[in-house]
């Protein structure tokens, strides 16, 4: 399995518009963060998790020419705003889009022209796959286990594929769902900043979860500019924990 970090920033991205902080003015490419999304290559399939406003740029930057399925974690703009750009992958087939009912409602409302009986030629076309908190299969040979978490009071899904799990925009998680994260080869999980936030984990929250579930390695995602400089903050992480950065590629 290969994992490509397409974007690793929070909803504003880094640099943040109008900000004069040292992170937003950093010359280190690892401090330039598009909105969070990953591409998983497994069993010769390319699976996208989330499709935000930087999707087009991410695809061009990494020269991605194949997408086989898209998993959505929740309906916030920074995770679904690029869905219209999937049209480039829909010329020969409808794109399988895995999402729960609440997210489906938002997608239909946001892109009504994609679901019209008389669709305009060339718009994105989707094969909506409605999911619940039970395992499902992609392309008949990839099992996906949803992981329920809470983004303040909004339910969101993380996903486990093989022995890797990805969760973003989480604040809390129930013990039953936490069990799905035990003894992974890789856990990718959100850590917004050092200080508390109403709907996101802090760095301390993320590190406590990582310690509890004991993955072989963990990468942090969905960081804001308030986290600090990649080079400096990385010095303080535990041995098996790392900050992700855009275009980082892992093989597990």
pLDDT at 116 over 90: yes
Kindly report the number of other CB atoms within 10 A of residue 19's CB atom: 13
Mean pLDDT of 31-45: 97
Structural domain of 24: 2-251
User: What band does 139 get if pLDDT is binned at 50, 70 and 90?
Assistant: confident
Instruction: Please give the pLDDT value at position 53.
Output: 98
Q: What is the mean pLDDT of the chain?
A: 97
pLDDT at 229 over 90: yes
Of the candidates 47, 45, 110, 44, the residue with the CA atom closest to the CA atom of residue 73: 47
pLDDT at 88 over 90: yes
Domain count, the chain: 1
Q: Full-prediction pTM beyond 0.75?
A: yes
Q: What DSSP element (H or E) covers 58?
A: helix 55-62
Q: 124 CB contacts (<8 Å, ≥6 apart)? A: 83, 84, 85, 86, 87, 90, 95, 111, 114
Locus of tokens 């600090």: 228
Instruction: Please give the pLDDT value at position 140.
Output: 84
Per DSSP, 14 falls in state B
For residue 218, list its beta bridge partners: 187, 241
CATH number of the structural domain spanning residue 36: 3.60.15.10
């Amino acid at each position: 399995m290969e994992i490509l970090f397409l974007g690793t920033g929070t909803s504003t991205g880094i640099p943040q518009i109008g900000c004069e902080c040292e992170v937003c003015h950093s010359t280190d490419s690892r401090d330039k963060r598009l909105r969070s999304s990953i591409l998983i290559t497994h069993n010769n399939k390319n699976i996208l998790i989330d499709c935000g406003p930087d999707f087009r740029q991410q695809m061009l930057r990494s020269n991605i020419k194949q997408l086989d399925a898209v998993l959505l974690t929740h309906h916030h703009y920074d995770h679904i705003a690029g869905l219209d750009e999937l049209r480039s992958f829909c010329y020969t087939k409808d794109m399988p889009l895995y999402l729960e009912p609440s997210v489906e409602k938002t997608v239909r409302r946001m892109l009504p022209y994609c679901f019209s009986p008389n669709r305009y030629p060339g718009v994105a076309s989707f094969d909506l796959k409605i999911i619940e908190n039970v395992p499902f299969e992609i392309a008949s040979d990839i099992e996906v286990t949803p992981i329920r978490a809470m983004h303040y009071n909004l339910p969101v899904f993380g996903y486990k594929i093989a022995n890797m799990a990805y969760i973003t925009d989480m604040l809390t998680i129930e013990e039953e769902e936490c069990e799905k994260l035990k003894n992974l080869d890789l856990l990718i999980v959100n850590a917004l900043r050092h200080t508390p936030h109403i709907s996101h984990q802090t760095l301390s929250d993320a590190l406590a979860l990582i310690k509890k579930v004991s993955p072989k390695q963990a990468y942090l995602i969905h960081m804001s500019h308030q986290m600090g400089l990649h080079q400096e903050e990385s010095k303080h992480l535990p041995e098996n924990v790392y900050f992700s950065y855009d275009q980082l590629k892992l093989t597990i």
